[in-house]
């Protein structure tokens, strides 16, 4: 084990947090809350716990700024982690083992207990140094991000408790970069899941009837798969995944017997709409396809997330401007892209608050949700250095 790092209190606090198995399914956040309250006491910050949904705590630290009337800064992270398959791990996923080459293994090192602890350690440093920031800084730990954030940030962002924070800007998560460039997210694709149902009169399988449910279904699938091929060309030609609309056929249902023409067939698609796509035009296109397929063809949304505009990075958001500058003055380049997946930042943006996802993890293999998730301890400590500069910059805008 990497004994030279075992005496470092910064690393030991991180390891203590990683050892809490706040893992799905049936997460118990009790030990996370105990740990975080202890950190608040050590730093000397007030902490409150909101439980808008039973057993789903939202933990908020608050560092009051010199001008508390200004819109505040939110440093957000989630406490939950995805399941593990221990037999595929080199080291137990909740033992927080540090190997001799300096890698800290554990579920949550990258996604996203590491970033949450960087938020805490950055504020701890600033406060201990005697720094005073203009804006109030809130450090937030939420539940259930890995299952969609419905009982976590979504519920909290719609609450009166959230409104009282008077937020002007939020930092959330991105993902590690395998080179020396930090990746930031300023927006996300919109998740839509739809089910299209094609109906027709049932008949014997030996006939060649017209307008069967199967013919209608074929028309619909063909349209979607041709659009998918067009989008895949963009990806193959180098367009980042976050800027491509992904379409995947995930379920086909219907029929009662192999020799009976079915009365109903349905097909479901998982769709992630790129930020620049016209959502109304996309929906009208699907409606047109259903009409063209024939009578009694309809579609319904299983999931219809609202369109959320990306945070602008054109110079009009001063928080982004100083964030970018503060990182680049450290000699670290930063690249802002559209998140290929989904994070809690979408709920913040939905409230009209600019949000940037940022995980200052460079030269790190991307192992979010993977076996042997890990981070090098020096990368983690460098991330705290970077986060300290960012927090100071955005809180003094």
Catalytic residue among 121, 144, 145, 188: 145
Alpha carbon distance 183, 186 (integer Å): 10
Catalytic residue among 80, 144, 151, 373: 80
75 Cβ partners below 8 Å, 6+ apart? 119, 123, 137, 138, 139, 140, 170, 171, 391
Q: Is residue 96 a contact partner of residue 17, using CB atoms and an 8 Å limit?
A: no
Residue 154: how many other CB atoms lie within 10 Å: 18
Q: Give rounded-to-5 percent helix, strand, coil for the chain.
A: 35, 25, 40
Q: Could you tell me which residues are beta bridge partners of residue 142? A: 78
Asked about 215 being catalytic, the answer comes back as: no
Alpha carbon distance 170, 137 (integer Å): 10
Alpha carbon distance 95, 105 (integer Å): 8
Asked about 144 being catalytic, the answer comes back as: no
Q: Is residue 163 a contact partner of residue 155, using CB atoms and an 8 Å limit?
A: no
The structure tokens listed for 154 are: 């979504």
Q: Could you tell me which residues are beta bridge partners of residue 271? A: 192, 247
Alpha carbon distance 245, 278 (integer Å): 11
Alpha carbon distance 47, 21 (integer Å): 22
Q: What angle do CA 165, 171, 177 make, to 5 degrees?
A: 170
The structure tokens listed for 395 are: 């809180």
What string of DSSP letters covers 53-111?
ETTEEEEEEEE--SSTTS-EEEEEEE--B----GGG-SS-TTS--B-TTSEEE-TTTTT
Catalytic site residues?
Answer: 80, 145
């Amino acid at each position: 084990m990497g004994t030279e790092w075992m005496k470092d209190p910064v690393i030991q606090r991180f390891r203590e947090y990683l050892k809490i198995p706040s893992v799905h399914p049936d997460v118990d956040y009790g030990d996370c809350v105990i740990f975080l309250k202890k950190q608040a006491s050590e730093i000397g910050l007030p902490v409150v716990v909101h439980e808008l949904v039973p057993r789903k705590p939202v933990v908020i630290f608050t560092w009051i700024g010199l001008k508390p009337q200004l819109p505040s800064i939110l440093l957000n992270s989630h406490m939950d982690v995805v399941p593990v398959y221990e037999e595929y791990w080199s080291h137990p996923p909740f033992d927080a083992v540090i190997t001799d080459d300096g890698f800290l293994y554990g579920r949550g090192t990258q996604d996203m207990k590491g970033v949450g602890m960087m938020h805490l350690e950055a504020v701890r440093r600033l406060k201990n140094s005697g720094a005073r920031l203009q804006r109030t800084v809130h450090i937030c730990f939420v539940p259930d991000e890995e299952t969609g954030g419905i009982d976590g940030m979504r519920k909290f962002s719609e609450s009166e408790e959230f409104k009282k924070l008077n937020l002007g800007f939020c930092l959330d998560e991105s993902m590690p970069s395998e080179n020396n460039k930090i990746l930031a997210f300023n927006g996300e694709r919109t998740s839509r899941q739809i089910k299209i149902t094609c109906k027709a009169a049932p008949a014997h399988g030996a006939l060649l009837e017209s307008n069967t449910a199967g013919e209608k279904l074929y028309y619909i699938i063909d349209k979607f798969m041709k659009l998918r091929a067009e989008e895949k060309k963009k990806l193959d030609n180098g367009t980042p995944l976050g800027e491509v609309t992904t379409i995947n056929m995930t379920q086909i249902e219907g029929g009662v017997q192999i020799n009976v023409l079915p009365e109903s067939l349905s097909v479901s698609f998982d769709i992630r709409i790129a930020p620049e796509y016209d959502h109304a035009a996309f929906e009208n296109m699907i409606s047109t396809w259903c009409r063209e397929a024939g009578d009694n063809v309809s579609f319904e949304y299983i999931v219809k997330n609202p369109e959320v505009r990306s945070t602008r990075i054109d110079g009009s958001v001063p928080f982004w401007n100083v964030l970018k500058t503060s990182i680049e003055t450290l000699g670290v380049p930063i690249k802002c892209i559209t998140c290929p997946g989904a994070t809690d930042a979408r709920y913040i943006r939905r409230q009209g608050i600019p949000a940037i996802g940022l995980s200052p993890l460079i030269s790190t293999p991307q192992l979010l949700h993977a076996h042997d998730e890990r981070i090098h301890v020096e990368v983690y400590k460098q991330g705290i250095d970077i986060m300290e500069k960012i927090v100071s910059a955005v809180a003094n805008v």
